Structures are given as C-alpha cells and as structure tokens.
A and B are shown apart, each in its own frame.
Chain A
Amino acid sequence: MPDGSTDPIAELSGVTQRYGDVIALDGLSLEIRPGEVLAVLGPNGAGKTTAIGLLLGTLHVQEGVVRVFGSDPGAREVRMRRGAMLQVSGVADTLTVAEHLELFGSYYPTPLPVSRLLVMAGLDDLGARRYGRLSGGQKQRVMFALALAGDPELVFLDEPTTGLDVEARRSLWNEIRGLRAAGRTTVLTTHYLEEADALADRIVVVHQGRVVAEGAPAEIKSRTADRRVRCITSVHRDEVAALPGVVRVDVNGQHLEILTARPEDLLRTLLALDPDLRDLHVTGAGLEDAFLTLVRDGERKEAA
C-alpha cells in the first residue's frame, strides 16, 4: 500500500537526460515506494521510457542520481530482483512460449514454475505454441510473463497495453491487478489516464521531461476532468476566455473551441449572452488537453 513514510525502493532524483539538443528528462525526480502500483502517465515523448530505461540500467544517467534497491540499477543483484516488460520488444519467433519462460526463469535464483507463469499471464493453453504464431495480445502476455519469470519484487511495465484492442487491454489489466495482490511493487507507464486510474495506487504525470502532477488517481482525475465545448457564436473569444473555469479558447474557422473545467456554468452564461448560439458539441477533453491543464496548474504552483 502506498505509504509516504516508507523509504523508496527505487528513485530518480534530479535527473536530466539529453539526446543532442533534445531534453528528454529535465531535472526529473521520482520515488517508487514498496508495494505500490505506480503509474507514470504522460503523452508520447514525455520521457517515460527514458525514465524506465534509467531505472532498468539500460541507459546511463547523465546528470542526477538513480538508485534501485539502494544500488546501481544495472547491478546484477538488482537485476535478479526485478522484472521488466519493454515497450518495443519481442523474442525469437521459433521458440515456444514454455521454452522462453523456462530460459528466462533460469536466469534467476528462484524462478516461478512455467505452469504458474502461464496461469498468471492467462496463457494456460499456449505453452507449446511458438511465439511467432501468437496474436499481438498473446505476445504481450508472453512479455508480461517473462517480466515475472524471476518472481521479482519490482516489476516495470513500459506501456504494457499499447497497440492492443479494448478487449485485450482489459484482460491484461486483470493480470496486472494480480501483481498488486501479490504485493509486488509495480511501475507502469501509460498514456491512458483510464488505464492509470484503473490500475494504480498513485499516478505521476510527466510532461516534457518533468513531473507535472502527482497524486492518487481520483485526485488527478478530478484535476483533468475538463470538457471541450465547440460552437458557433457571436460572443468574442476574449469575452469567453475571461469566464470562470475556462482554460483556453481557440478559434477554428467559424467555431470557437473552449476548454473548461466548469462546462455547465459556461453553457448557461454563453446561452444567456447569445441565444443564437448553434452547432453546439460538448465532449470530454483529450489527454493532451488534460496535460495542458496539469502543466498550467504546475506552472501556476511554481509561480506562486
């Protein structure tokens, strides 16, 4: 369970990582606490995978400190207690699922039995099937099972459900929930708020290499519960921008596009100001919009 008083079992502290001119991580700090399921939420290019790479020891830190189990993240003793599912990964097509699991298990001192891994990953009947003959969802499950092969204390899942259809995604969620039940500390990255909400104890939102928000899922969700209102109206955009709860106003052709935290108030006011308002759409805000909100909140906090 999340518990702020416990020492973190892994942390990034003031890490800055550059690729040429591009800053992937910009003074990022992150703690992973024992037993929690932590979701690192952010859009593509936010720096999530870089952060995971550092925690897995596949990348060398340029500036700042990275510790896992109090050691260097690439140390062999660390690797023995940790499992990982990478964003872009595959294994040999010609070996069977069971052969892969057995091989990966052999790397660890106390591997989980292949039969149990197959159950944990929902691959019960697929042990004898070659990896290359599996569907995309099944392959992801194999990657998931490989991450658990060594019975790890700490599991990294880098975008575990990317590219999966809704059904496959939901079913993998079930397996991931099992991790938490087993008390394994889990870090997962995602760009779906829904996924983070469904799985995590705690969410860290990363944008452009920085942490822009952090908190329990309900908290984060409430802060990103914006709506997008789209309409044709004679009310001027500046006037709209000044209304309470409005985050942003864009002009798109004839349409105004308004992002607001309080859509009901906005609509009441707008309809009062312009009875001719037409072509009205109200939709949930996109993730990009949500991040904008969070970023702005963050900047505001910093400025304060």
Chain B
Amino acid sequence: MPPTSDGARPLGLSGRACIYVLEARGQFLTVARTPGFTIPTLVFPLMFYVFFGVVMGFSPAAPTFLLATYGVFGLIGPSLFGFGVGLATERDSGALLLKQTTPMPVGAYLLSRVVTALLFGMVIVVGLFLLGAYAAEVRLYRWQWFALAGVVLSSVIPFCSLGLAIGAWVRAQSAVAIVNLVYLPMAFLSGLWIPISLLPSFFRDVAVVFPAYHQSQLALKVVALDEGGSAGVHVLMVGIFTVVFLAVAVAGFRRVGSR
C-alpha cells in the first residue's frame, strides 16, 4: 500500500461514482431476485388496472384516470417495501451495522434504494402505459405521457421517505405488517383504486391526510381529471409529508445509534 502523509487516501470522484453504481446494482439485484417482492409490486398495479381500467371501464375517462392513480399506487410498493421492509431487515440481520463500519457513504445506501424503486417504477409505468394505450385506447399528447411518467416516478420522494421512517423504527417482522397496513388502506382512502369522487364525502375529508392523495391529484392534473385543487398546495403537502417522514426517520436512527 503506498502510504501518503496522513495515511488516508480519499477516493476520487470516479471511485465515488463506482460505489453509487455498485450499491444501486447490488440493491436492484437483491430485490429483483426476491420473487416475493417483485411479483406483487409489479403485478398488482397492472392486474388492478386490467380489471378496473380495461375490463370494467365504468366511465369513458376511467382508463385514463386509473392510469394516473395506479401509476402512483404502483410506485408506493417498491418505495415502501424497499425502504421499510428492506431497511428493517438489514438492521435486524446486522448487515446495516456492518456497512456502517465500512467507508460506504450513507448517500450511496439511500440512493441505491431510491434508484431501485425508480427502476421498478419505470417497469410499472411502461406496463401501465402500454396497457392503457393498446388495451384501453388511452390517447395522450406526448408531453402528457412524459409529464404523467414524471409525476408518477416522483412519488418515490414521499413514499421512500415514509418507508425510511418505518424502517428506522420497527423490526423486520413487524415492518412487513406495518407496510401492508399503510400501503393498502392509504391507496384505497386516497382514491387510487376507486375515484375519491365516487366514495362518500367522509372519505374525501380523510383523503387529504395522505400523501398518496396529493401525489395522485398531481398525476391526475396532467390528464385534467383531478379534483381541481391547486397544484401548488398539493406540491406543498407532499413536501411537508416528506420533511416530516425524514425527521421521524432521523429520530429513529438516533435512537438506534445510542443503543
């Protein structure tokens, strides 16, 4: 080893980039090789869309509407499971502690999970969009296709934060239960499965407390099927949720660190 004066050799930029890429690759492969994760997260949104959007089609706008909401729904899965369950599992197994003893940048660890959620999200978006376009004859302008994909993929921000908060606090076994407890009811109550306007008004009042509601309203804005709320307010709400989740996550890690 060629020693330098202080003994420590900082990694070059390309070395740093390598860590990020390899960490993301490792995380993606870990997840992709877990059929118990991939099949439900990929199949559920597409299956629901086929059922409610293509087969049932309770209104002419339904295929377009559900394209936006099942897109957001599809992104909740990989985001929550990757962070919530994945993090709790690594914490329990000691893998996280082991990595903390290495020079791995924390950013690489977090980003690898966001990237993995995004890649799964892209698969879901492509699947949904192709189903929408060719099975349900959804026609959108190119800017709408791109904007919808962008808004749907941006769901990783609030939902990964939520997953991080869950993963920071609970143990692996309870994480699965808690994620499911959040995942499905939040999707339903935010109007991701059935338009909120078709539910009793009580649900509408409840929906505003879920980030998924605001995220889906933003997605619906792209196709002009939203409830008419201000985009700025929805963005602000998503931002507030994200900040709160991150704060909860940081508190969780502090607690663990002082053990």
Show the binding face of A for B, using Cβ within 8 Å: 56-60, 69, 76-82, 84, 86, 88-92, 94-95, 99-100, 102-104, 106-110, 130, 143, 146, 150-151, 153
Residues of B within 8 A of A104 (CB): 102
Task: Looking at the assembled complex, report how far the CB atom of B32 sits from the nearest CB atom of chain A, in whole angstroms.
Answer: 8
The reply to whether A150 and B102 contact each other, CB–CB distance below 8 Å, is yes
The reply to whether A95 and B103 contact each other, CB–CB distance below 8 Å, is no
Which of B11, B26, B104 is within 8 Å of A99, CB to CB? B26
The reply to whether B34 and A82 contact each other, CB–CB distance below 8 Å, is no
Residues of A within 8 A of B10 (CB): 109
How many A-B contacts are there with CB distance less than 8 Å? 88
Given contacts A58-B101, A99-B29, contact A89 B93 (CB under 8 A): yes
- A31 CA to B73 CA, complexed, in Å: 55
Of all chain A residues, the one with the shortest Cβ separation from B23 is A103
Given contacts A58-B97, A84-B101, contact A106 B30 (CB under 8 A): no
| A-side interface mostly | loop
Which of B8, B11, B101 is within 8 Å of A57, CB to CB? B101
| B56 on the A face (CB < 8 A) | no
Query: Could you pull out 19 A-B pairs where Cβ atoms are within 8 angstroms?
Result: A57-B101, A58-B97, A59-B259, A76-B8, A76-B103, A80-B9, A81-B7, A82-B101, A90-B95, A91-B93, A92-B30, A95-B30, A99-B29, A103-B26, A104-B102, A106-B15, A107-B102, A107-B104, A130-B33
Residues of B within 8 A of A99 (CB): 26, 29
| B6 on the A face (CB < 8 A) | yes
Of all chain B residues, the one with the shortest Cβ separation from A104 is B102
The reply to whether B101 and A79 contact each other, CB–CB distance below 8 Å, is yes
Residues of B within 8 A of A95 (CB): 26, 29-30, 33
| B22 on the A face (CB < 8 A) | yes
| B228 on the A face (CB < 8 A) | no
The reply to whether B23 and A108 contact each other, CB–CB distance below 8 Å, is no
The reply to whether A151 and B1 contact each other, CB–CB distance below 8 Å, is yes
The reply to whether A92 and B101 contact each other, CB–CB distance below 8 Å, is no
The reply to whether B9 and A109 contact each other, CB–CB distance below 8 Å, is yes
| B201 on the A face (CB < 8 A) | no
| Nearest 6 CB-CB pairings of A with B | A77-B8, A89-B94, A94-B33, A90-B93, A109-B9, A79-B103
The reply to whether B101 and A56 contact each other, CB–CB distance below 8 Å, is yes
Of all chain A residues, the one with the shortest Cβ separation from B21 is A106
| B198 on the A face (CB < 8 A) | no
The reply to whether A92 and B11 contact each other, CB–CB distance below 8 Å, is no
